[in-house]
Structure 1
Amino acid sequence: MKSINPASGELIEEYDQMKDDALNAIVSDAATAQEKWRRNSFYERSLLLQRVAELLEEHKEKYAKLMAREMGKPLAQGESEAEKCAWVCNYYSDNTDDFLAEEVIKSDASKSYVTFNPLGTVLAIMPWNFPFWQLFRFGVPALMAGNAVILKHAPNVTGCALAIEELMHEAGISDDLFRTVIADVDQTQDLIKHPDIAAVTFTGSTRGGKAVASTAGSVLKKTVLELGGSDPYLILEDADVEKSAETCVNSRLINSGQSCVAAKRLIAVEDIYDEFLEAVFHKMNEKKMGDPFNSSTDIGPMARKDLRDELHDQVEQSVGAGAECILGGSIPNRKGFYYPPTILTEISKGMPAYEEELFGPVASVIKVKDTREAIKVANDSNYGLGAAVFSQDLQRAEEIAAYELEAGCCFVNEYVKSDPRLPFGGVKESGYGRELSHFGIKEFVNIKTVYRA
């Protein structure tokens, strides 16, 4: 397993793949540790998660540098990611007692209620783009609910995966209760089927999610899938153009464009299209691409060469089909896996820029006649993760977000982002299940009816 510095293309470190016997032992030991952990009170668990939060805050610079080195995240964004992980630790430490409290339900019984029991050991198959946050937003509620966690991270961020394991153990969480494994695809499929794995969570591509769901389904194991997105941002005729453009550009370029909920299709009604496009152009053009360790950098390299090349191919295919590239669109002549801020216009159905997820700093700006067509284009996608509406008519925008858009997270006059207090997840080929809030912590529990005559 190789970790490559995306800013230089140089090898950082190689990691040995674990043997099958070692993986089986880790899973079996986790099951044993979970039997003890599930009997701890919420208060006892919360003390350890609060310590995890403290360590994240204390060492956020170290973790930011690790993320920058392994996947190219600009330092300031890496520090913010560590801080957000601390937030989710404290949030569930404070609220799990309420979220998982027994719920009394009146029936013909003398007593009937619902209780929430942990499932056991949950396997987390995580991506590289938010190497700490992706794990923490699932792992913290899973641990607070009484489960054990096995982390199988993306190979290019193995250093981050091992750092998370070290952090958990330093905070006092049992060595066997939280483990990182270094495994290939075939071994991961076997782990899903392991009798001591109770459930699986996967964040990544739609293709990968289908493979995980198929394997887990063959052995009837619960899954939560957070997959790709081609998030539409609707800019209506009465939107504040400057603020809308700034929000859209910031969303499109966060994490160097490598975010499932980044603004990917900017759908502007024709009355304000030209003004909006000009504003987007200027704001994209002023962003600085460079070394993620440089504090002035807005956009670092893409995480891997194959991902950069795939993105460029999508751009070229779209241009070949009639799209116009008005900014960027070429691979820079420099070391590393960089790709510049890019804007595509004249987008039409059938192009990759319309149909596919562009996982990098490329914005597809689409002109539509009116609000109804904007909604139609927004929903004309296999994906349904995030969406946003920009308008000064807040009631109308809220109604569109709440009732018209086919997505799991719909925002008004703001870019889509995850928040520990709010459920996060998608519909259609963006997956199923929810993370975060009280909905997320209930994904990996047995919602049990208790009836006493």
Structure 2
Amino acid sequence: MTLTDPTHQEPTQAGDRTIHDPRTGEVVGRLTPATPEESAAAVDAARAAAPGWARTPAAERGTALHAAAAAVRAAADELADLTERETGKPFAEARGGVDAGIGTLVQYAELGPLHRGRTLHGGWEATDLMVSEPRGVVAVLTPWNDPVAVAAGLIGAALVAGNTVVHKPSERCPATGRRFAELVAEHLPPDVLCVVDGDGAVGAALSTSDVDVVAHVGSTAAGTEIRRACAVSGAHPVLENGGNDPLVVDAGVDPVWAAEQVALGAFANSGQICVSVERIYVHADVAEPFLDALTTQAHEWAERIGPMVDREQRADVHRQVTESVAAGARLRTGGELPDRPGAHYPPTVLDGCTADMALFAEETFGPVAPVRVVSDFDTALQEAADDRYGLGATVLTADMEHAQTAWRTLPVGTVKVNSVFGGAPGGAAQPRRASGQGFGYGPELLDEMTTVKVVHLEPAPAGRR
């Protein structure tokens, strides 16, 4: 498919979307969604290119991905600038996301040619193999909050495993997503990587089309629809969806340090990270000094965070905050719409929250730290575990027994102890329940992008060849 810049199209079709800079509100681009015919043509083109790409030696696919990583590296500032203008993510953070994407492309360029296969121990006269093969065509649907890093992982793993890809970037950052795809596609045969522009309707059409994998990072509502579509079509879903990640502050920890950890988890990228801290349980013994320190942290973070992605997302967050205050939560700081252009929202701290408030029951995806004071650690763990999501959780404790109990019992894909964003490279957790399914990162993502064929080779009897 031909890659074109959607911001050059005039907004004359139904469903066109204007992209505003979240910092200033000015128009920075326009998106014309792909028609059903254009989406179908992209899938058909990727399907036609699949056999040739699958037959390309794995080392050559890895070399192509290395070249794509070099191209992205050369255009890193351009991609970071596009990300900042379309999503409001500060340039330094946006550049960090691009750099992470470059590293991910290199990682899969190296891992792909080494992907597993094995021999089986059968009879002497036969050979038995388990062979890894590409699944075929992968629909990759990526979000706006870290567009290059997420796309690099899913697209890189799919391509190096021998699949072709149809990529739909988020409608909130179409120019970023399309430019990244252009840079990668320049180093691939035609139609191995196709791009379609559009919103959720286009993504839904792709997930019900003739594809073999649907890889999606985004909302739980969209992920639920994709699960249903894949159950009918037989496509393999790889989903990282919403999270409502808890953080537990145990007795005996330094309340100022705990507040710093919580502020980082709740306010970084204006709270718009899949694994942001969404609800905080603090032991009563340290509650007051912790809340004071967290309020101070919120004031400090107000000077350095960027805006939210758009006013629509900001309105959803503000609604949750105001509803919680009306239901009895106490606003410590923030919670007011600023009188300025763009989609800014202040770091917000509330206490007195209850489990039935939307701030605690649903993913907020904004710079909000809702706090609930509990009487003991066991209560905190029990309430933290009582949730329909299962993405991640953090526990701050000096008690090793509590740490061990926490990671053993919390029903989530990732548990972090004493470091809200800590973790070694290569981690590939599986989100649970409403948060998705499948490995979305690390070497295990190659398993999601491939299928296994068992082969039994035995010679024909003498005289019958």
TM-score range relative to shorter protein: over 0.9
Using the TM superposition, give the Cα deviation of residue 420 of structure 1 relative to its aligned residue in structure 2, in angstroms. 5.2
For residues 73-101 of structure 1, what are the alpha-carbon distances to aligned partners after superposition, in whole Å with 9 as ceiling and x for unaligned? Answer: 01111011011011111212222233x23
Q: Distance in 1 between matches of 2:152 and 2:48?
A: 22
Q: Distance in 1 between matches of 2:395 and 2:381?
A: 10
Q: 2:434 aligns with which of 420, 429, 435?
A: 429
Using the TM superposition, give the Cα deviation of residue 400 of structure 1 relative to its aligned residue in structure 2, in angstroms. 1.6
Q: 1:408 aligns with which of 413, 433, 437?
A: 413
Q: Distance in 1 between matches of 2:175 and 2:72?
A: 16
Q: Distance in 1 between matches of 2:299 and 2:204?
A: 44
Using the TM superposition, give the Cα deviation of residue 448 of structure 1 relative to its aligned residue in structure 2, in angstroms. 2.0
Normalised TM-score (structure 2): 0.90
Alignment of 1:24-423 (within 5 A): 24-98=40-114, 100-107=115-122, 110-170=126-186, 172-195=187-210, 197-289=211-303, 298-394=304-400, 396-401=402-407, 403-416=408-421, 421-423=426-428
Name the SS for the 1:30 alignment partner: helix
Unmatched tracts of structure 1, length 5 or more: 290-297
Name the SS for the 1:365 alignment partner: strand
Q: Are the equivalent residues in 1 in contact too, given 2:331–2:350 (CA < 8 A)?
A: yes
Using the TM superposition, give the Cα deviation of residue 22 of structure 1 relative to its aligned residue in structure 2, in angstroms. 2.8
The letter of the residue matching 1:160 is T
Q: Are the equivalent residues in 2 in contact too, given 1:261–1:417 (CA < 8 A)?
A: no
Name the SS for the 1:155 alignment partner: coil
Using the TM superposition, give the Cα deviation of residue 215 of structure 1 relative to its aligned residue in structure 2, in angstroms. 2.0
Q: Are the equivalent residues in 1 in contact too, given 2:22–2:88 (CA < 8 A)?
A: yes
Using the TM superposition, give the Cα deviation of residue 220 of structure 1 relative to its aligned residue in structure 2, in angstroms. 1.9
Q: Which moved more, 1:105-114 or 1:126-135?
A: 105-114
Normalised TM-score (structure 1): 0.92
Aligned to 1:295: none
For residues 123-180 of structure 1, what are the alpha-carbon distances to aligned partners after superposition, in whole Å with 9 as ceiling and x for unaligned? Answer: 112221111122112111111111111111221211112111211123x123411121
For residues 201-245 of structure 1, what are the alpha-carbon distances to aligned partners after superposition, in whole Å with 9 as ceiling and x for unaligned? Answer: 121111111112222222221111111111111111132433332
Q: Are the equivalent residues in 1 in contact too, given 2:34–2:202 (CA < 8 A)?
A: no
Name the SS for the 1:410 alignment partner: strand
The letter of the residue matching 2:116 is A
Q: How many positions carry a matched residue from both structures?
A: 441
Q: Distance in 2 between matches of 1:397 and 1:61?
A: 41
Q: 1:440 aligns with which of 439, 445, 463?
A: 445
Unmatched tracts of structure 2, length 5 or more: 1-16, 459-465
Name the SS for the 2:301 alignment partner: coil
For residues 242-271 of structure 1, what are the alpha-carbon distances to aligned partners after superposition, in whole Å with 9 as ceiling and x for unaligned? Answer: 333212211211211111101111211111
Structure with larger Rg: 2
Q: 1:213 to 1:439 in 2, by over 3 A?
A: same
Q: 1:235 to 1:111 in 2, by over 3 A?
A: farther
Q: Are the equivalent residues in 1 in contact too, given 2:118–2:131 (CA < 8 A)?
A: yes
Using the TM superposition, give the Cα deviation of residue 378 of structure 1 relative to its aligned residue in structure 2, in angstroms. 0.8
Using the TM superposition, give the Cα deviation of residue 68 of structure 1 relative to its aligned residue in structure 2, in angstroms. 0.7
Q: 1:164 to 1:271 in 2, by over 3 A?
A: same
The letter of the residue matching 1:76 is A
Identical columns (%): 29
Q: Distance in 1 between matches of 2:292 and 2:190?
A: 54
Q: Which moved more, 1:207-216 or 1:72-81?
A: 207-216
